[in-house]
Structure 1
């Protein structure tokens, strides 16, 4: 559902004044307007609108999630409704069609609403349904990127980046117009919502936003050429009843050629559906590959804790999360709380992995690198 003129519904609590419009200034030169409602353009408008909408949802019986403030859940007598808010767009899901219709009628009484029907297109993400589940893709958005960069007739690339690239050390002239590079990388960042295989490539390219070189622009163009042959790919959210979490984490030790910082990466599956992924440079230099892997486990654990709390709000019970890592040394550090030489450089917050194992939140398992 979409709200018409959403910000005009907000009630102002502060005193806000505005200059008179041009047609009234001559007749009232010394007067200003005091606003009774929020207007588009004032900084209070988004907050006032969200408060107005959240009050309406709370009056209906919804409970606001503490883990995601834009999520509201309703649960009574076996009936469950969930509402996710993005400014003036609302996604509504539920297990009772009559209750969904009753809620939509309630919203229409509170605000001027447009019912857009079943979710098909939202914020550039295309939604398709089938017996196997829900498929999310950004096909149109991807084709727009390819067309805007002039690569509709290019030869598709097999991989997003060249293997063993040296973009950090490359000698190349500075790009004459850095704005086009920043705009392209920014668009690729939004594409990561449905394209996890681009996570590492876009992470690398985003490090050169300030002074990009021509070689960096060519690398960004290669990512677009890779999209040419896979513009319809996306994420399949399976209709399977399995709601358990599984996480795979890894690290690339001392991969940054300038700072010698390591990379952390993880992907989270809900059942057999990927729902979260990330590539991030670590904050400190690791003295060994085992330490880098251990820090990667700590970063992944933060995401596990957040997702477990979020699923708890949906009344989804969780067993210990299966946590896969390909470093036996890091697993031994996590499962053995004895202090020894290899752990004295590791920050205390990384040892939260040990506490999570003791508390039964995660079940740490070894997986071979090839797997």
Structure 2
């Protein structure tokens, strides 16, 4: 989604957000038959079951069938699915490109305003959908977009919501999400489960601490929760920060690094990389390497290889 918005920025295209209403209920029951037990208060005391005539929420097949239904609708009006990304569709109208990105029932239509209107009208012949105007909020992100000028991405509202959820709305701030050279040793599991604030984090500057905490996602300990709580004051102090990209000549590059033998359990190194598109960090990862290396140089070569692979 981010990379598509950057392409729209460079080409000076409009980005329109649309919502497909009751998506799963609009998919068809063309393949096979599905039976279910009678709902509560409808059971007549027999062993009879229901034959579903339409999809309902909660079915294992619901998401796949909805995607197939939407795919068929897009293909019918002339779109082609991208070979490298199953949720990106492309079409040309009078020589001008139109892009559609799909995330369940949220779609983003990118193109010239007249072409976007035409595509939305065609989709409305098949689906019930709302035109939400220029994209402003998508996938928990706030988007400020000026075609051909500037794109800004932030998560202020998302951070505020989670600060309230974890009781940290009035918390003080810290300068970093993680203490330097902090080692997180394996911890014994507690019987009491606590909420994990890091489960909701998705910013590149906290990628490493999220990786560390996710490795212990099943370890509900007070020690782990104390480490996780440091992320919240950091986010509170940077809640209005965001990524900004301005339209200019295309530049695509990446940075990588590695911390040799950082894992105390396996002596494996930790790789980190960020991919940048006109100064915009659109891709990032912090991950433990798959092999043990016997030197800093070799661990950095492994990290660089992963970075280049993702860049290509």
TM-score, L = length of structure 2: 0.86
Contact 2:142-2:156 within 8 A present in 1 as well: yes
Q: Please name the residue that 1:295 is paired with.
A: 302
Q: Please name the residue that 1:320 is paired with.
A: none
Deviation, structure 1 residue 296? 0.7
Q: Please name the residue that 1:9 is paired with.
A: 26
Change (3 A) 1:21 1:209: closer
Q: CA RMSD in A?
A: 2.2
CA distance in 1, matches of 2:165, 2:36: 40
TM-score, L = length of structure 1: 0.73
Name the SS of the counterpart of 1:15 in structure 2.
Answer: coil
User: Which of 263, 270, 276 is 1:256 aligned to?
Assistant: 263
Moved over 6 A (4+): none
CA distance in 1, matches of 2:50, 2:115: 43
CA distance in 2, matches of 1:89, 1:104: 13
Deviation, structure 1 residue 216? 2.3
CA distance in 1, matches of 2:169, 2:128: 42
Q: Please name the residue that 2:71 is paired with.
A: 54
CA distance in 2, matches of 1:64, 1:104: 17
Q: Please name the residue that 1:81 is paired with.
A: 98
Q: Please name the residue that 1:179 is paired with.
A: 194
Cα displacement string for residues 262-297 of structure 1 (whole angstroms, at most 9, x for unaligned residues): 011111111222111111100111111121111112
Deviation, structure 1 residue 166? 2.5
Matches within 5 A, 1:134-145: 134-145=151-162
- Count of matched residue pairs: 293
Q: Please name the residue that 1:282 is paired with.
A: 289
Greater displacement, 209-218 / 133-142: 209-218
Deviation, structure 1 residue 211? 2.2
Contact 1:84-1:92 within 8 A present in 2 as well: yes
Contact 2:79-2:90 within 8 A present in 1 as well: yes
Change (3 A) 1:9 1:212: closer
Matches within 5 A, 1:1-371: 1-12=18-29, 13-21=31-39, 25-26=43-44, 29=46, 31-94=48-111, 96-130=112-146, 132-168=149-185, 177-180=192-195, 183-188=196-201, 192=202, 195-240=203-248, 242-305=249-312
Change (3 A) 1:49 1:213: closer
CA distance in 2, matches of 1:277, 1:111: 35
Name the SS of the counterpart of 1:150 in structure 2.
Answer: coil
Name the SS of the counterpart of 1:179 in structure 2.
Answer: coil
Q: Please name the residue that 2:5 is paired with.
A: none
Contact 1:161-1:201 within 8 A present in 2 as well: yes
Name the SS of the counterpart of 1:129 in structure 2.
Answer: strand
Name the SS of the counterpart of 1:41 in structure 2.
Answer: coil
Deviation, structure 1 residue 135? 0.9
Deviation, structure 1 residue 212? 4.5
Change (3 A) 1:175 1:76: same
CA distance in 1, matches of 2:281, 2:84: 20
Rg larger in structure: 1
Structure 1 unaligned spans of 5+: 306-371
Choose between structure 1 and 2: higher strand proportion: 2
